[in-house]
Structure 1
């Protein structure tokens, strides 16, 4: 397959650069490790409500001797990967800009930069929405509802941080849906009419994805699934103005009937 051969050639060409990239991630991770404790404290102050009522509303605990240290190590690696993303985007641009993929489409440099910029903005907006708006409301509801039922809140610090990071990342990706659908439609990989025709099927897929990428509680799955459906409908609206329909004659006749 030509595409796999291209990626194999890319790996051979940049394998030394990939080694440097790995060392860069390691260096940033080592530098970031001493500050991860402050990051965890900041997350608890930002996302969890203030202590109130008589006694404590919640308590973050560790259940294993190395739980907090392993969590801090994971956060430092995440910081290293995030710091390396500009380098990864640079390599991706050098590989993709101006490349022809079969007879379907050709990737132009300016359009690739525009798509990357739009995707970055959408991802950041999604993360901010999750971190500053959705997660504080979710945690306050979970904590106060359990307190009202007479249940104490003692959460593993790793579960709390993993849930917050995963949910924030998922919402960042959710906000990418309009861009992804527009790119697929304009590249004629998935015509715009297919997204509209199989709307109900996509609803089922969205609910399955929401169940797979979130914790096994219904509230979180709903809070991920509903925005996905809303963004899917918003993407369909955007496609009316940004991508041609390209409906086959048989489909146009069937839709007309």
Structure 2
């Protein structure tokens, strides 16, 4: 029993630490969301999200709400989504702080840049989707739609589309991080990645065809950045591995 008690105490202490980190992350999301709610307001935030679609529609057109509570519920969901994205660095920091005590010095040098890079790249992917992709995609869709059809998107369907697209682009922009981690863990070499370049390009177009609408504009808008980010990951991997290699690993 004397040997089991320290193990149990350590396990319980880890659970308490995990709980505290989750609470702090949740509080961070709640604070950012509340600041958005009181500072900007859910209605204006949704208007900001809807701006690319409204700009592509005929002058004076508006979206529609097919549910009674949609005009209230959908902007609240958008505000919560904005709050999560803006507080993502704080959430990832809490994850890093939870695992940091059990890491060696060289492993800490590995985790901190990955946390910063992951949050930055995810937000960059969302921004790229909003500022560049949405405008071109919506303009293309409205241009090719028959004149006998009145384009009046439902706000809930539009939110689902925006969320799925932003998630797809945010995850796609994590490609350099995935490449660096695979190389650092020794699962694949840089030389092998260069050999697989052709397969990676094909995979990027296949993935973009699956997760984006069936139009050329959105598919190329996702596939080409994925390929370029893969190349960036291949270039940065050797430098990252060198910077985060332990002295004993270098000796080996």
The alignment's TM-score, normalised by the length of structure 2, stands at 0.70
Structure 1 residue 98, shift from structure 2 partner: 6.1
Q: How does 1:47-196 map to 2 (within 5 A)?
A: 48-49=54-55, 52=58, 56=60, 58-82=61-85, 84-97=87-100, 99-100=102-103, 106-108=106-108, 110-146=109-145, 149-196=147-194
Query: Whole-Å Cα distance in 2 between the matches of residues 212 and 7 of structure 1?
Result: 42
Long gaps (5+) in structure 2 = 1-9, 243-252
Match of 2:22 among 18, 21, 32: 18
Query: Whole-Å Cα distance in 1 between the matches of residues 158 and 204 of structure 2?
Result: 25
After superposition, the C-alpha distances for 1:168-226 in whole angstroms (9 at most, x for unaligned) are 343233233123312321232332233233334434543443344334x2433443233
Structure 1 residue 164, shift from structure 2 partner: 2.7
Structure 1 residue 46, shift from structure 2 partner: 4.6
SS of the residue corresponding to residue 71 of structure 1 reads helix
Structure 1 residue 156, shift from structure 2 partner: 1.1
Q: Identify, as 1 or 2, the structure richer in helix.
A: 2
Tell me: CA distance 1:241–1:28, structure 2 relative to 1, closer, same or farther (3 Å): closer
Structure 1 residue 20, shift from structure 2 partner: 5.2
Query: Whole-Å Cα distance in 1 between the matches of residues 206 and 126 of structure 2?
Result: 21
Long gaps (5+) in structure 1 = 1-5, 245-257
Q: How does 1:221-232 map to 2 (within 5 A)?
A: 221-232=219-230
Tell me: CA distance 1:204–1:24, structure 2 relative to 1, closer, same or farther (3 Å): same
- Give the number of equivalent residue pairs: 230
Q: How does 1:27-66 map to 2 (within 5 A)?
A: 29=33, 32-33=36-37, 35-46=41-52, 48-49=54-55, 52=58, 56=60, 58-66=61-69
Tell me: CA distance 1:96–1:16, structure 2 relative to 1, closer, same or farther (3 Å): closer
Tell me: CA distance 1:141–1:236, structure 2 relative to 1, closer, same or farther (3 Å): same
The two structures, once aligned, show a CA RMSD in angstroms of 3.6
Query: Whole-Å Cα distance in 2 between the matches of residues 135 and 7 of structure 1?
Result: 47
The alignment's TM-score, normalised by the length of structure 1, stands at 0.69
Query: Whole-Å Cα distance in 1 between the matches of residues 196 and 177 of structure 2?
Result: 18
Tell me: CA distance 1:80–1:239, structure 2 relative to 1, closer, same or farther (3 Å): closer
